[in-house]
Amino acid sequence: MGAFDVLALTSLWEGLPRVIPQAMAAGVPIVASAVGGVTEVIEDGLTGLLVPPGAPDVLAGRLRELLLDRRRGQALAARARECAGEFELDEMLRRLDALYRELGGAAGRGAAGR
């Protein structure tokens, strides 16, 4: 992935595609369709560029921008790399476990008060 100039994700729908955090961690600039979980990971203009799904002309224009302005792509990739850790599998599992424990404790307290 380190050999990529830019990662383009052109999905019409997505959950949380693993390739986005992988590209973030690798320092690869990202242009992606603004669908599903992608919008929870990429902040348009800060950690990558988002385009409307099914808009190839807009996608091509954003890709062209990054290919012509390498510094901008590097800046986006650097900011994205700073955020990549929160999307690592171990971190996501740790946070999910903490949430379940918190919710389980709240449910247990609610049931005990009945």
H-type alpha helices, 1-114? 19-26, 38-41, 56-68, 70-83, 89-112
Kind and range of the H or E run holding 32: strand 30-33
Tens of pLDDT along 1-35?
879 999 999 999 998 888 999 999 999 999 999 99
**For position 33, which CATH number holds?**
3.40.50.2000
CB atoms closer than 10 angstroms to residue 99: 10
For residue 79, tell me if it sits in a domain. yes
Structural domain includes residue 94: no
pLDDT value of residue 88: 66
Q: Measured between alpha carbons, how far is 80 from 52 in angstroms, rounded to an integer?
A: 20
Integer Cα distance of 9 and 57 in angstroms: 14
50 lies in some domain:
yes
Q: Does 13 reside within a domain?
A: yes
In a domain, 25, yes or no: yes
Q: Write the pLDDT tens digit of every residue in 42-81.
A: 999 999 999 999 999 999 999 999 999 999 999 999 999 9
3-state class of 21 per DSSP? helix
Evaluate whether 93 touches 99 at the Cβ level (below 8 Å). Answer: no
Q: Is residue 113 part of a domain?
A: no
Total residues belonging to the chain: 114
Residue 55, in any domain of the structure:
yes
Position 99 in a domain: no
Domain span at 78: 7-84
How many domains does the chain divide into?
Answer: 1
The set of residues, in sequence order, having a beta carbon less than 8 Å from that of 21 and lying 6+ positions away, is 41, 84, 87, 88
- pLDDT greater than 70 at residue 107: no
